Amino acid sequence: MTTPVFDESTLRSLTALADSGDLRLADDVASACVHACATLIDELEVLQRRSRHISTRDAYGILASAQQLGLKFETKAIGPGGLYDVLQQHIDTVTQLRDLFEKAGRAYREADERAADMIATGTEGP
């Protein structure tokens, strides 16, 4: 099996901080990060689809033995722990990162709106 790109518990902790409003990212920074993640996800998905297609093509050989060989290669490319799975792991991680940035940006906007409301109403903050 492959090693995860990120420690999932770290990502979960960061996401929980963003959920509770303790991790905030300025709106433009968060948007840029979300966009970068989305672009990376798109590219990884294309690689994943291309790897499936090349595996499909490779599975047609002139002899039955070549097809069996194709099946063996496929377990490397598409099977458990293969390239397809590795790409999936990357997609999952970057998707989590994208969600984290979205939440951190939202936390910033909400904090900003609360501050503006307090100023407008003359209420003192905590």
Question: Can residue 12 be called a binding residue for another protein (CB under 8 A)?
Answer: no
- Answer whether 32's CB lies under 8 Å from 25's CB: no
Query: Tokens 């595996």 map to which residue?
Result: 55
Residue 18 token pair: 């963003």
Question: Can residue 52 be called a binding residue for another protein (CB under 8 A)?
Answer: yes
Question: Can residue 74 be called a binding residue for another protein (CB under 8 A)?
Answer: yes
Residue 41 token pair: 């996800």
Question: Can residue 21 be called a binding residue for another protein (CB under 8 A)?
Answer: no
CA 24/CA 40 separation, integer angstroms: 22
With CB under 8 A as the contact rule, the residue among 19, 21, 31, 54 that binds another protein is: 54
Question: Can residue 32 be called a binding residue for another protein (CB under 8 A)?
Answer: no
For the chain, percent helix, then strand, then coil, each to nearest 5? 75, 0, 25
Question: Can residue 8 be called a binding residue for another protein (CB under 8 A)?
Answer: no
Residue 60 token pair: 């047609």
By CB under 8 A, name the binding residues for another protein.
5-6, 10-11, 14, 23, 25, 33, 36, 40-41, 43-54, 56-62, 66-68, 70-71, 74-75, 77-79, 83, 86-88, 90-95, 97, 100-101
